[in-house]
Structure formats: structure tokens, C-alpha cells
């Protein structure tokens, strides 16, 4: 009787271990950074962002040149301009500094917003493709290989690229 109990317990443990092994989730990994850097839509978005950044930089350079020229002019004329004129010019210079600072901050915010607007639909498309390919191949979990210390499972990057058409 004691042997039967031991045999029954051993059988249950083996069955339980076997079911645990079968219940383990299938995992794979994908290199999202590689996909995003080589995806034609992302390359095009980066070109648009670069062009916008160059436009902002050119405008800022114009403002900076105007500011520098006024400082030179006002510095040269300061001894002969009089206190009231110098005070007004000082306020004008402070206003120009504020406008330049505001322009720079607004340009940065607009660039960040434009980047988000351009990349969000692309990121959603990549995520949908990862989900589609992962489900089609029977994976429950797909990890981004960028943060993995060991990526021993299947790499789905090529499959995702193929699904996205590049």
C-alpha cells in the first residue's frame, strides 16, 4: 500500500512536470531598432524632420545675426547716444534675446511634435506586424532584442521586415 502511494505520487509529479513543460510559453525576439532605422517610411520621415530642422536653424541664424549686428552698432554708439537712448536700446536687446530664446524653444517643441506625428503611425504599423507574425508563428511573447542580454530564441526581425514590405 505504501509503495502504491509512492508510485501514485511519483506518477502525479511526472504528469505535473510534463504539463508544466507543455504550458511554457513560446518566445521569440525582434530587433525593433533595426527595423525602424531601415524602414523606408522612417527614412522619409527623418528627411522631412531634417529639412524642417534646417529651416528653423536658418531662421535662428538670421535672428542671431541681426542681434549681433545691433549689439555691435549699439556698443559703438553707446558713448554718444545718451542715457535715455542707451536705456531704450538695452530694453530692445533684452527683447531680442527673449524672442530668440522663445523661438528656439518653440522650434524644439514643434520638431518634437512633428516627429511624434510622423513616427506614431509607423510605430503602430510595426507593432501590428510584430503581433501578426508572432501569432501566425504561434508565439505568445515577442521581446525586443535591444534590451536582451541573451537572445537564444528565434529572431523574427527578417519576418517582420518581409511583412512590412522591405
Neighbouring C-beta atoms of residue 146, cutoff 10 Å? 12
Question: Lowest-confidence range among 40-44, 65-69, 150-154, 155-159?
Answer: 150-154
pLDDT of residue 153: 80
pLDDT exceeds 60 at position 1? no
pLDDT digits (tens, 9 = 90+) for 63-115: 999 999 999 999 999 999 899 999 999 999 999 999 999 999 999 999 999 99
Tell me the per-residue pLDDT of 6-59, one tens digit each, with 9 for 90 and over. Answer: 444 544 456 554 444 445 678 999 999 999 999 999 999 999 999 999 999 999
Percent of the chain as helix, strand, coil, to the nearest 5: 80, 5, 15
40 in Cβ contact with 166 (< 8 Å): yes
Amino acid at each position: 500500500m505504501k509503495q502504491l502511494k509512492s508510485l501514485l505520487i511519483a506518477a502525479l509529479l511526472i504528469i505535473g512536470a510534463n504539463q508544466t513543460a507543455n504550458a511554457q510559453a513560446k518566445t521569440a525576439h525582434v530587433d525593433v531598432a533595426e527595423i525602424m532605422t531601415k524602414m523606408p517610411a522612417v527614412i522619409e520621415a527623418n528627411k522631412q524632420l531634417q529639412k524642417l530642422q534646417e529651416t528653423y536653424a536658418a531662421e535662428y541664424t538670421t535672428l542671431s545675426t541681426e542681434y549681433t549686428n545691433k549689439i555691435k552698432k549699439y556698443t559703438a554708439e553707446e558713448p554718444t547716444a545718451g542715457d535715455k537712448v542707451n536705456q531704450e536700446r538695452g530694453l530692445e536687446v533684452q527683447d531680442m534675446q527673449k524672442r530668440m530664446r522663445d523661438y528656439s524653444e518653440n522650434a524644439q517643441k514643434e520638431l518634437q511634435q512633428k516627429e511624434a506625428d510622423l513616427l506614431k503611425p509607423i510605430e503602430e504599423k510595426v507593432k501590428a506586424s510584430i503581433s501578426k507574425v508572432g501569432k501566425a508563428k504561434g508565439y505568445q511573447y515577442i521581446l525586443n532584442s535591444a534590451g536582451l542580454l541573451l537572445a537564444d530564441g528565434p529572431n523574427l526581425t527578417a519576418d517582420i521586415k518581409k511583412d512590412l514590405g522591405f
